[in-house]
Amino acid sequence: MDAIYETIKYGIRSDHDDTRIGEMPAFLTDEMLTKEQINDVAEYVLSLSEEREDMAAVDRGQEDFMENCASCHGDKAKGGRDFGAPNLTDAIWFYGKDKDIILRTISRGRNNVMPAWIDRLDDTTIRQLALYVHSLGGGE
């Protein structure tokens, strides 16, 4: 409940000191992975929510995932709260489920911003919103 309240108040990735920081790195641009490795890791990510044919690529991708992605997305790719990294196994995509989109996300990164509402909503409204989100299951 408090975490939701703070998130709405300060947003994610704004300049505020208390802001939640989270950024999806650019693995190709920053030369952390090769094109082939990114293809494998995309196959692995897709295999978590649908059947894939190239199981050799999925296996290779899983190794790269453990080394490069699990720190934020979690060992089982179910997402990490600390870094704002989404669950990759639930077939819910911010950017779309096409392989091209996933390749682009991994290659060039993403930097979506959750805006801060502290200057736009009063405290009572933020608290009510936090309660509402909590009631939807956001607080677990």
Residues in touch with ligand HEC (CB under 6 A) = 22-25, 27, 41, 45, 65, 68-69, 71-73, 83-86, 88, 93-95, 102, 105-106, 110-112
How far is residue 18 from each of residues 11, 50, 92, 118, 125, measured CA to CA in Å?
Answer: 9, 37, 28, 12, 19
* Nearer of residues 11 and 84 to ligand HEC, judged by Cβ: 84
> Which residue number, 72 or 121, has a Cβ lying nearer to ligand HEC?
72
121: left (phi over 0), alpha (psi -120 to 50) or beta: beta
Residue nearer to ligand HEC on the CB measure, 5 or 27: 27
